[in-house]
């Protein structure tokens, strides 16, 4: 497990997915922790599967939830990123309400990206991939899910917000020139 502090109250952790075996995407996936006024928010959470990492992760998360005294909100970019969501809903007092500080942008019939306004950050599931350079997903991934036009339009809207961070589930986080990288991804689908 790798944990990266991106800003005050914003963290990303990477854990090995127990069943993902995709040569292009790899086996590690990213999840996001963000503190908002309303909740401790976990986006696409995956509890690390190794016992020692799992114990350390849950102990740290227990401490953060207790320290803040807020409910936990679990947001999914897409249903197939459910990962450890049910386990964590059983562990913590959760809220079904999406925090006001987070905006959902639908990019397909069954997938959203999230805008974290306080951090000027875009959080994406499979729509954006940080493999080498930031890329949007291949058009064929969206062919039966509403097509890629909505993704392209939404990414253009997000560029206008001038993000400082892009946090994809697969690959590297963009921490420098994020607006430029996101704009370039619009015309650069993964081949």
The CB-based long-range contact list for 138-144 (8 Å cut-off, 24+ gap) reads 138/189, 138/190, 138/191, 139/189, 142/108
Is a pLDDT exceeding 90 seen at residue 178?
Answer: yes
Could you tell me the pTM of the whole model? 0.95
Query: Coil, strand, or helix at residue 91?
Result: helix
CA distances from 70 to 31, 65, 67, 122, 191 (A): 19, 7, 9, 23, 42
Digit-coded pLDDT (tens) for 31-72: 999 999 999 999 999 999 999 999 999 999 999 999 999 999
Structural domains counted in the chain:
1
Please report whether residue 120 resides in a domain. Answer: yes
Please report whether residue 162 resides in a domain. Answer: yes
Please report whether residue 42 resides in a domain. Answer: yes
Please report whether residue 144 resides in a domain. Answer: yes
Whole-number pLDDT of residue 23 = 66
Please report whether residue 48 resides in a domain. Answer: yes
Please report whether residue 90 resides in a domain. Answer: yes
Please report whether residue 167 resides in a domain. Answer: yes
Helices and strands in the chain, H and E counts: 5, 10
Residue 21: domain span: 2-186
CATH number at residue 13: 3.60.15.10
Please report whether residue 191 resides in a domain. Answer: no
Digit-coded pLDDT (tens) for 61-82: 999 999 999 999 999 999 999 9
Whole-number pLDDT of residue 18 = 77
pLDDT class of 2 with cuts at 50, 70, 90: very high
Q: What is the Cα 29 distance to its own chain's centre?
A: 9
């Amino acid at each position: 497990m790798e944990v990266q502090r991106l800003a005050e109250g914003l963290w990303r952790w990477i854990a090995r997915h127990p069943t993902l075996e995709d040569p292009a995407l790899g086996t590690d996936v990213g999840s996001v922790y963000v503190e908002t006024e309303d909740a401790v928010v976990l986006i696409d959470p995956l509890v690390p599967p190794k016992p020692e990492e799992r114990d350390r992760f849950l102990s740290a998360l227990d401490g953060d939830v207790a320290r803040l005294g807020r409910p936990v909100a679990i947001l999914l970019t897409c249903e197939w990123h459910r990962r450890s969501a049910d386990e964590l809903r059983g562990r913590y007092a959760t809220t079904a309400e999406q925090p006001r500080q987070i905006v959902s942008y639908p990019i397909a019939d069954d997938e959203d990206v999230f805008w974290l306004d306080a951090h000027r950050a875009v959080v994406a599931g499979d729509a954006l991939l940080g493999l080498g350079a930031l890329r949007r997903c291949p058009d064929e991934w969206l062919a039966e899910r509403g097509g890629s036009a909505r993704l392209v339009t939404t990414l253009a809207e997000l560029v206008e917000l001038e993000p400082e961070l892009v946090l994809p589930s697969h690959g590297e986080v963009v921490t420098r020139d994020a607006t430029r990288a996101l704009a370039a991804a619009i015309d650069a689908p993964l081949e």
